[in-house]
Chain A
Amino acid sequence: MNGAGGGQKSVKALAMEGLWTNNPIFGQVLGICSTLAVTNMVMNTLVMCAALVVTLSMSSLSISLLRSWTPRNIRMMIETLIIAFYVIMVDIALKAYWPEMSQNLGPYVGLIITNCIVMGRAEACANTQPPLTALVDGFFNGLGYSFMLLLVAIPRELLGMGTIMGFAAPYFSGPHWDKWIIMVMPPGAFFMLALAVWLFRSIQGPQQKEGAK
């Protein structure tokens, strides 16, 4: 805990908030647009999550650094441009070093720009907090998001293809397992996410009520 922003929330509190209590996906069900599509393979999901974590933390940091120079009425536009800047860098890096993955992900890396989470964090936190807090907040929100996506991606690939990250899983790739192809198709993503949201809301339910009411 080497102090992030004296007097502000501690790293631990920020981590807790991003990963659990205020997790962007099952708390607010935001930003699932661009990423449900990549959860059919665990590998794709990992790369997408890495891209998102980098973009989210870096853009939070930059927005926070620039916050006192940004005129309020055009801040959305500036935030969007900053986010787009990082997304372009990630996209170009991916194209250069891992062209197949870039092909797999198609337009979805670019769509991080319109991912509501990035914008949401920019508006809710980076806009008002000091740089270090914003960076940590962005990082853990990104991780919280990744964790949720992996939770959706692992069962999808396992049940649908019998593999995890391309490696055959013991029982599921064998002849006894009738592969659930539907899991790697679009409907499977919706069902898995619904189940995951259900699970987490049920666990979180009682606490949330105490806090809110």
Chain B
Amino acid sequence: MNTDGVLVQALVVAFSAAFTGNILLTNFLGMCPFLAVSRQVKTSMGLGWAVLFVMTGTCILNWVVYWHVLVPLHLEFLRFIMFIIMIAAFVQFVEMLLERYSPVLYQNLGIFLPLITVNCAILGAALFMVIREYTFVNTVAFGLGSGAGWMLAILAMAGIREKMKPDRIPQGLQGPGITLIIVGLMALAFMGFTGVLSGG
């Protein structure tokens, strides 16, 4: 395949990861922080950036570890442990770097970084990447697309929740209940993207 083909393919992967196969809205990954942190646009933005960054970084790292360390050694069954360790190490490393070189960014993202280690979207993205046997370029695209899709979803959610604050909601439905209904509606909207890819 020539370079154009590779790029187009990567674009398709990124697009489908962000929209048609949004990791939050169709695969339900990363729901816990999504429900807990989506109250304000500002904090959501911080968490969104952190997820985008970590997801891309760890996808690349895990791709290398899986295909160049675990597969040659026939240790594929260790991938859960390896991925978790790589993710934890990556997050720790980024935290240290940020603290040292960019205190401003550290203050904004700092509290979110440790949370991300246990974000299932990150591990989920790594596992999907293995199951779908992406090439390196596609892995990068997939990480970027998934992170961007997650960020988009949490930002939209935070925007809606901020607007909704004064509304009166039945008692049992407050908090998680109404949020889940909104997520459902968002998932419906995102399903509309499905036709875009199959058409092209």
Compute how far the CA of A182 lies from the CA of B189 in the bound complex, rounded to whole angstroms: 12
Give the residue name and chain of the A residue nearest to B175 (CB). Answer: A29
Size bracket of the B interface: 35 or more
Interface residue ranges, A against B (CB under 8 Å): 29-37, 77, 80-81, 84-85, 87-88, 91-92, 106-107, 110-111, 113-116, 119, 182, 185-191, 193-194, 197-202, 205
Known contacts A33-B31, A84-B80, A88-B78; is-contact A115 B172 (Cβ 8 Å): no
Known contacts A81-B81, A194-B180; is-contact A186 B25 (Cβ 8 Å): yes
Give the residue name and chain of the A residue nearest to B127 (CB). Answer: A107
Compute how far the CA of A29 lies from the CA of B171 in the bound complex, rounded to whole angstroms: 16
CB-based contact A190/B120 at 8 Å:
no
Known contacts A34-B29, A186-B25, A201-B173; is-contact A194 B127 (Cβ 8 Å): no
- B161-188 CB contact bits vs A (8 Å, 1 = yes)? 0000000001111011110110111011
Interface residue ranges, B against A (CB under 8 Å): 25-32, 35, 77-81, 84, 88, 118-124, 127-128, 131, 170-173, 175-178, 180-181, 183-185, 187-188, 191
Known contacts A36-B28, A107-B131, A111-B124; is-contact A29 B184 (Cβ 8 Å): no
Compute how far the CA of A84 lies from the CA of B187 in the bound complex, rounded to whole angstroms: 31
Compute how far the CA of A92 lies from the CA of B75 in the bound complex, rounded to whole angstroms: 12
List 7 interface pairs A-B (beta carbons < 8 Å), by A numbering. A30-B32, A33-B31, A107-B124, A110-B80, A186-B26, A193-B180, A199-B172
CB-based contact B80/A91 at 8 Å:
yes
With a cutoff of 8 Å between Cβ atoms, the chain A residues found around residue B84 in the complex are: 80, 84, 113-114
